[in-house]
Amino acid sequence: MSLTPDLLLHGYSIGIFPMAEHRNDPEVFWVDPRRRGVMPLDRFHLSRSLKRSIRNTPYRIAVNDDFSATVEGCADRVETWINDEIRTLYVGLHRMGHAHSLELWESDELVGGVYGVTLGGAFFGESMFSRRRDTSKIALAYLVDRLRQAGFVLFDTQFITPHLASLGAVEISRAQYHNALQHALEIEADFMAPALPDAQELIQRSTQTS
């Protein structure tokens, strides 16, 4: 059976997600990790250096200005699981209103960002990238704030990396994840509802919840 955006959403709703071995591999397979990475929305860690980067950032923060370019930015690395089919599927989800990007721009150049899928009160983080120092971390800080303000209750990072762990991400069991997912799917959240905060508002809110 060929993958479609609707089938992709169904996969997320039951706790699985697609990957390819590399960009040139036409095969896509489903993944259901035994241990799942999640970012508790009340535990995102803003270090002093990250607060300084947010305060001093010269970049424009945007939501969905160029979703396709954000996916391309995430795939622009030596090894990536984003092949042509996955890229096309997520653009389809974006057109349906179920995939979003949060981006950092320097003039007309995209210098960092993150994208993921929304379903109910769950955000499934797919990938992020940096072309300048700290731009993916800044994007993640704005994303976490947006998810909190919009009423999301689950931020699935799929796997955990030292980078994500330093920001507050943790691992939970498959059973814990599926319980959290079922709860999140009963929640109504709107990714596009919140306004983008200025740097000081973002830092103040993040400090109060961390």
| Tens-place pLDDT, residues 85-113 | 889 999 999 999 999 999 999 999 999 99
Beta bridge partners of 31: 17
CA distance to 10, 87, 122, 154, 202, per residue, from 13 (Å):
5, 20, 9, 12, 30
Which residue ranges form the domains of the chain, and what is each CATH number? 33-80+98-209 (3.40.630.70)
Convert the pLDDT of each residue in 157-193 to its tens digit.
999 999 899 999 999 999 999 999 999 999 999 999 9
Collapse the DSSP code of 190 into the 3-class scheme (helix H, G, I; strand E, B; otherwise coil) and give the result.
coil
- The answer to whether the beta carbons of residues 173 and 35 sit under 8 Å apart is yes
Convert the pLDDT of each residue in 63-90 to its tens digit.
999 999 999 999 988 788 788 888 999 9
Write the DSSP assignment of 15-52 as a string of letters: T-EEE-SSTT----EEE--SEEEE--TT-----HHHHH
Q: Which two tokens stand for residue 120?
A: 């109910």
Convert the pLDDT of each residue in 130-149 to its tens digit.
999 999 999 999 999 999 99
Mean pLDDT rounded to a whole number for the chain: 93
- The answer to whether the beta carbons of residues 115 and 71 sit under 8 Å apart is yes
